Structure 1
Amino acid sequence: VFALILWPPRRDWKSDSAFRAAVFLAVSYFVLFIMHAWASLASQYESYSCVFCFSNYLTFFDPLGLLFFVVAFHAAWNRHPARAVQILAVFLVVALSTGIGFSLFEHVGDGLLNLPVPRMREGQFLPDSAKLVDVLKYGFDLQLAQIKRLVSSFLGLAAGLAALVVAFSLWRRNKTARYSLALVNSYLVMGLVLSPVLNLGENSIHCKEDLILANERLGGYLASIIPPDSLVYWDGGNAFTPMVYVPHARIFPPQINDGYTYHFGGDPDTLYRFSHWNGELDAEWRNAADVFIIEAKRYSNWKDFLDPREFQEYPKPADAPSCDEGAELRIFHRLP
């Protein structure tokens, strides 16, 4: 975005090849951005929408944006942008910082919420201190989710304002370039420096298990208990990988993508042709399947269907396909 708003006139580019490279990188990046934004956000009523996946999608092609910025900066940076462009750069820094902070509200941990703040009443400071979360909760009648959003947004805004101050101090020392250039560079450097602390005090759980080996062992276990030519119904989560080790079983291909290809309504034949499915196909498959593989945290939705008089559970496998809580698999087979 900064490379676009500071895009220089054609005559200021050092070479035609640099200009063509910048255009190619910019078009590629923003076309991919729009495509993934539509797929994950605008198409929220389609089966393949995934709002929370959007930020992950961007990492697929983020290097294009970085290369675009580098090429534009090196080959033809606009060192004397108009005043309107500089105002736009300031606005973008503040808006982006606040938005980034807001997006991280789920990561606000106790370390921030329990920060001591002065107590006040009727404009007067009181002895001792109170927790930040208590001040906002009882003083402004806010719920915990609202408090987290407010705190994270404020921290993002503070980071943006800090970037403005740092850029201003750098610009005052050397006024040969415009303030917007100092702002963009200081903002990018600040983002790089602060990137390790974006968890905002929340502890991250890192999986220490060898998941490749776990999936191999899990697949071997499934292959040993599932009879040949069995029709398998999969509700074991996003990781369909273990079924790769069970080539003698039959599956319902649309379930490979779990619920991401599930539709409400629609023609079953048309959906199946495009490897999608709906409630009608789901009911048909449940009645036809011989083996059911259920993720442990989803088992509560299956209790009524998996009647012990009709289904028997295999011994639970020792391995799970992921480190997520409740990711263990439970396997049932239909009784004769």
Structure 2
Amino acid sequence: MKVIVVSFCFSNYLAFFDPLGILFFSISLACAWKHKSNRLLQILVVFIIILFSIGMGFSLFEQVGDALLNFPTPRFSEGRFQPGTTTISSILKYGLDFDLLQIKRFISSALGLGIGFISLFIAFWLWRREKKTQLSTFLINTYLITGFVLSPLLHLGESKINCQQDIILAHENLGKYLSQIIPPDSLVYWDGGNAFTPMVYVPNARIFPPQINDGYTYHIGGDPDILYYFSHWNAELDQRWRNEADIFIIEAKRFANWKDFLTPQAFQEFPAPNDSPACSKGAELRIFQRIP
């Protein structure tokens, strides 16, 4: 039996091991240079630290908020300083014709570069005072310690508020609404997103358990009976469930994939609920009942 697993988060899961890679890198260099110093490798370490600093700064450009965009900066034109101040965003916007996204990326990358140089300067200054260890090893250790100390500053740019509504209350209201409109013993097909919680409030409805985890347990190919036994599913099970279900709960942004199936001739749509299970656009639920 050949089974292909569809994983939407595999690359994100690999990121869990990033700290181990950093530690392994530090330990490897420490062992390699324990007995003999190599100037070429020391230069490589400096280059890697600067490159990593710019990369980490660039990756945080979405965290750049008004506090950084409107940071006061002296005005300078025609070769001399001018009275008053301006902002970094104004300089980049009117001086280099950057849009907002480019401004955020430039500021975050520049901050990363600055932190990288600061950590190198501190490391070199401390190393010159003692000189008890290899410079390359000392640079890396100091860089890691500096990153740990400055980690609270990663959110200096004002984190974005993703949601204004009470999600728990919204799920409770959705659950109450579903319990009112779904007839007892109905077989419910769920394509309403990752938040299956509202269905907890409809205990008399029957569901397809593998859909609780949405597409994360979906397989391409495989024996449907074996997959279902392990609470997984595939295209064959999906088609079977579509033919059997009485109620269909569809996330609004996914409805384009259902237009040809949920036709007005075969299904009636319930009034849209007032609450949404998530704050993202298109997370609203559309609920359909098969016409007998």
Q: Residue 96 of structure 1 is aligned with which of 52, 57, 62?
A: 52
C-alpha contact (below 8 Å) 2:221/2:234 kept by paired residues: no
Q: Is residue 120 from structure 1 mapped to residue 106 from structure 2 by the alignment?
A: no
Residues 1:251 and 1:112: Cα distance change in structure 2 (over 3 Å): same
Residue aligning to 1:257: 214
- Higher relative contact order (Cα pairs below 8 Å, separated by 6+ residues): 2
In structure 1, distance between residues paired with 2:199 and 2:213: 9
Q: Is residue 275 from structure 1 mapped to residue 275 from structure 2 by the alignment?
A: no
Residues 1:64 and 1:146: Cα distance change in structure 2 (over 3 Å): closer
Q: Is residue 48 from structure 1 mapped to residue 7 from structure 2 by the alignment?
A: yes
Residue aligning to 2:269: 312
Shift of 1:124: 3.1
In structure 2, distance between residues paired with 1:199 and 1:322: 24
SS in 2 for 1:316: coil
SS in 1 for 2:117: helix
Residue aligning to 1:185: 141
In structure 1, distance between residues paired with 2:90 and 2:216: 40
Give the TM-score, by structure 1 length.
Answer: 0.63
Q: Residue 164 of structure 1 is aligned with which of 90, 113, 120?
A: 120
Cα displacement string for residues 256-303 of structure 1 (whole angstroms, at most 9, x for unaligned residues): 3348959xxxxx86697773449xx68x8767643222346x377589
Shift of 1:152: 1.0
Cα displacement string for residues 41-83 of structure 1 (whole angstroms, at most 9, x for unaligned residues): xxxxx95344xx7456433x5675688689x59x979544532
Shift of 1:127: 2.6
C-alpha contact (below 8 Å) 1:209/1:323 kept by paired residues: yes
Letter in 2 for 1:144: L
Identity %: 47
Letter in 1 for 2:7: Y
In structure 2, distance between residues paired with 1:155 and 1:56: 27
Residues 1:114 and 1:300: Cα distance change in structure 2 (over 3 Å): farther
Q: Is residue 292 from structure 1 mapped to residue 251 from structure 2 by the alignment?
A: no
C-alpha contact (below 8 Å) 1:219/1:242 kept by paired residues: yes
In structure 2, distance between residues paired with 1:235 and 1:168: 57
C-alpha contact (below 8 Å) 1:102/1:156 kept by paired residues: yes
In structure 2, distance between residues paired with 1:271 and 1:135: 61
Cα displacement string for residues 213-264 of structure 1 (whole angstroms, at most 9, x for unaligned residues): 87577557645643355343333222234446657424384683348959xx
Question: Could you list the runs of 5+ residues in structure 1 that have no partner in the other structure?
Answer: 1-45, 263-267
SS in 1 for 2:155: coil
In structure 2, distance between residues paired with 1:285 and 1:175: 70
Letter in 2 for 1:94: I
Q: Residue 82 of structure 1 is aligned with which of 37, 41, 47?
A: 37
Cα displacement string for residues 278-332 of structure 1 (whole angstroms, at most 9, x for unaligned residues): 9xx68x8767643222346x377589676778423257376x5456576454433
C-alpha contact (below 8 Å) 1:221/1:317 kept by paired residues: no
In structure 2, distance between residues paired with 1:126 and 1:236: 58
Question: Could you list the runs of 5+ residues in structure 2 that have no partner in the other structure?
Answer: none
Residue aligning to 1:145: 101
Give the TM-score, by structure 2 length.
Answer: 0.71
Letter in 2 for 1:313: F
Count residues with an aligned counterpart: 276
Shift of 1:159: 0.9
SS in 1 for 2:188: strand
Task: Provide the alpha-carbon RMSD of the alignment.
Answer: 4.4
Residues 1:270 and 1:163: Cα distance change in structure 2 (over 3 Å): same
Q: Is residue 131 from structure 1 mapped to residue 131 from structure 2 by the alignment?
A: no
C-alpha contact (below 8 Å) 1:99/1:156 kept by paired residues: yes
Cα displacement string for residues 70-102 of structure 1 (whole angstroms, at most 9, x for unaligned residues): 9x59x9795445323323322221111111111
